[in-house]
Amino acid sequence: MENLDREITTLQIERESLKNESDTYSADRLKLVDELIRSKKEEQQRLMTIWEREKGRVKEIKDVKREIEEANTRLEIAQREGKYELASRLRYSEIPALKGKLPPESAGEEVESEDMMIRDRLTAADIARVIAKSTGIPVENLRQGETEKLLHVREPAALKYPGIRRHTD
C-alpha cells in the first residue's frame, strides 16, 4: 500500500506539472495520468477494504482468545473454591461455546496465505524475506532444506570439475 501511495503522489505531482503545459503531447499525457490516478485510487480503496476486513478478523480472534483465557482462569478459581456448579458451566458450556466462535484455522495451526495483509504470527516466509533483504541471499536459497541442498551438492562441483560425475556416481 505504501508503494501505491507513492505512485499516486508521483502521478499527482506530474498532473500538476502537466496542467501548466499547452502542447498536445502534454494534454494527452494529462488524460493518461488522470486515468492512472483514478485506477490507482480504486486499487488503493480495494486494498484498504481488504486491510480493514482482515484487521477486524484478527481483532475478533484476539478478543475471543482473551475471553477463553479469562474463562479458563475463572474455571481454575471456581475449582479451587469448590464452586463445582460454576466450574461445570464454564468447562462444558461457556468455554466450548467460545471455542466455537473461533475460525477453524485459528483454533490450531493457522493456515497462512501469501496474499494476507495482516497475520497474527510470523511465518518462515516472513523471516526468510527479512534475512534475504538484510543479507542479499535469495529467499529460495534460504528456504531450501538441508536434504535438498545435499541432493544437489554435486551440481556446482560438476560445473567446476567436469570429470567428477563419473567418480561420484
Spans of all domains in the chain: 2-121, 122-169
- Single-letter amino acid, residue 80: R
pLDDT confidence of residue 125: 78
Distance CA 62, CA 2 (A): 26
How much is the pLDDT for 48?
92
- Grid coordinates given for 33: 495520468
User: Is the model's pTM score more than 0.85?
Assistant: no
Domain 2-121, classified CATH 3.30.70.100, yes or no: no
pLDDT per residue as tens, the chain (169 positions): 788 899 999 999 999 988 888 888 888 999 999 999 999 999 999 999 998 998 888 899 899 999 999 999 999 999 999 999 999 999 999 999 999 988 876 544 444 455 566 766 777 778 878 888 888 777 776 666 666 666 666 666 666 676 666 655 5
How many other CB atoms are there within 10 angstroms of residue 59's CB atom?
A: 12
Q: What is the CA radius of gyration of the chain?
A: 28
Are residues 11 and 33 in contact, defined by beta-carbon separation less than 8 angstroms? Answer: yes
CB 47 within 8 A of CB 117: yes
Separation between Cα atoms, residue 137 and residue 108, nearest integer Å: 32
pLDDT at 96: 93
